[in-house]
Amino acid sequence: MDHIDSYYAASANAAPLAAPLSGDIRADVCVVGGGIAGLSTALHLAERGYRVVLLEGHRIGWGASGRSGGQAIFGYACGQQKLDAAVGKAAAGQLWDFSIEALDLLKERVARHQIDCDLHWGQMHAAIKPRQRDELKEWQRELVDDYGYTSVSFLDRADVEGLLATDRYCGALYDSRSGHLHPLNYTLGLAAAARAAGVVIHEGSQVTAIDRDDPARVITAKGSVRARHVALCCNAYIDGLEPGLRARIMPVGTYIIATEPLGEARITQLMRENVAVTDINFVLDYFRRSADHRLLFGGRVSYSGLDAFNTAKATRKRMLAVFPQLADVKIDHAWGGYVDITMSRAPDFGRVAPNIYYLQGFSGHGIALTGIAGKFVAEAIAGQAEHFDIYTRIRHRNFPGGKLLRTPALMLAMLYYRMRDYL
């Protein structure tokens, strides 16, 4: 039982291995899932004085929280217009504010708990085509005029080429308040903080069933937890535990490569500032520097769950489209994993029973949003559900096609967006 082979696992801080659950125990709250969402939930509850047990089926940070691109970005994957339509402009404005509060919370947690996770501020959304450049300019106008978000600035081609040694981008929207970090070390740091606050963590403790009683009973292969409240923070790995929740999300495979160390001089020549970069294609690329002067580059997604096209080779090809000068560079690590998306790309929070809460559907914006989501579900369990319940007003649909056809249906739909990226 270990993390998948990745650059993050190879450079992870030391962390204790927690014993699997054995026997029947009691708690105020049982949290299922040892990623950022689950750990944030557990930490906030423990700080409120609750007795919390967290169950993780594999290792802490085994899923998307320990494998992702590591970018902490403002807003939501669905965009504000969809939120306006879903909950009204006033509530959508509150959701926007929460996404900014999420960045502040991340910063505060790292500082307070002294989490060594290579946190840096600065992130760019980059345009490849003139129409995308125009979209970024309009996006900046919306952010400033409608939400008073003045941390963003528009960069023209010359500005971008002054920061990045590539001619691929014709413009970018730079945000000084967003940033990037080592996601596995951040997750492990949250786990250490949760333990220090009194949370009992069990790894290798896959939940097989939940009895919806009061108290609820959360069952694993070798034990159970009776708790007045349960928080499901499984995201893409909910599997058959709650079929109704699983139908509303789709696990999407994402892939990242890490070059060999380039040395400080070469990586700085490539990227003058230590910022994260994401293009705005529907099937997007993203990249950033690592603490030991590698380039971490993610690109491509798989909606089939299959890796039929040699992911490492394909992702390297996409990297060379941005930085052809890296043709001589060896790839040291290549890995993938699942993130969960909803049909609308809006987050899906709610209750499956009065005392059983869930968080899912972060749709690629999980580094920051999972933290604030954990805070809000902890508030709801403590009887202050105003913030949490704004999210529950967002209606979510099942992916079409049922269990057998929903993945092929999504793959066909994505062909349209892949083709649009080339226009």
Which range of residues forms the domain containing residue 142?
7-408
**pLDDT score for 419:** 42
Domain harbouring 227, CATH code = 3.50.50.60
Residue 1: inside a domain = no
For the chain (423 residues), the mean pLDDT of every run of 10, in chain order, is 92 97 98 98 98 98 95 95 95 97 98 98 98 97 95 98 98 98 98 98 97 96 98 91 91 91 98 97 92 92 53 90 98 91 95 97 95 98 98 92 51 44 49
Q: Are 85 and 64 in contact (CB under 8 A)?
A: no
Give CA 29 to chain center in angstroms.
24
> What pLDDT does 416 receive?
37
| Sheet strands (E) in 42-140 | 52-55, 71-72, 120-127
Evaluate whether residue 79 is within a structural domain.
yes
Tell me if 107 is assigned to some domain.
yes
- pLDDT at site 253: 82
328-346: b (≥16 Cβ within 10 Å) or e:
ebebebbbbbbbbbbbbbb
User: What is residue 401's predicted lDDT score, i.e. its pLDDT?
Assistant: 61
* Residue 218 near residue 353 (C-beta atoms within 8 A): no
In a domain, 417, yes or no: no
Residue 300 domain-assigned (yes or no) = yes
Residue 395 in domain = yes
Query: Residue 358: left if φ>0, alpha if ψ -120 to 50, beta else—which one?
Result: beta
Strand bridging mode 276-279 / 249-259: unpaired
In a domain, 421, yes or no: no
How many folded domains does the chain comprise?
1
Question: Could you tell me whether strands 223-232 and 23-32 are parallel, antiparallel, or unpaired per DSSP bridges?
Answer: parallel
Q: Specify the pLDDT at position 236.
A: 86
Q: Is residue 420 part of a domain?
A: no
Angle between helices 366-381 and 36-47 (to 10 degrees): 40
For residue 339, the model assigns a pLDDT of 85
Per-residue pLDDT at 405: 46
Residue 409: per-residue pLDDT = 45
Question: 410 in helix, strand or coil?
Answer: helix
263 CB neighbour count, 10 Å cutoff: 12
| pTM for the full predicted model | 0.93
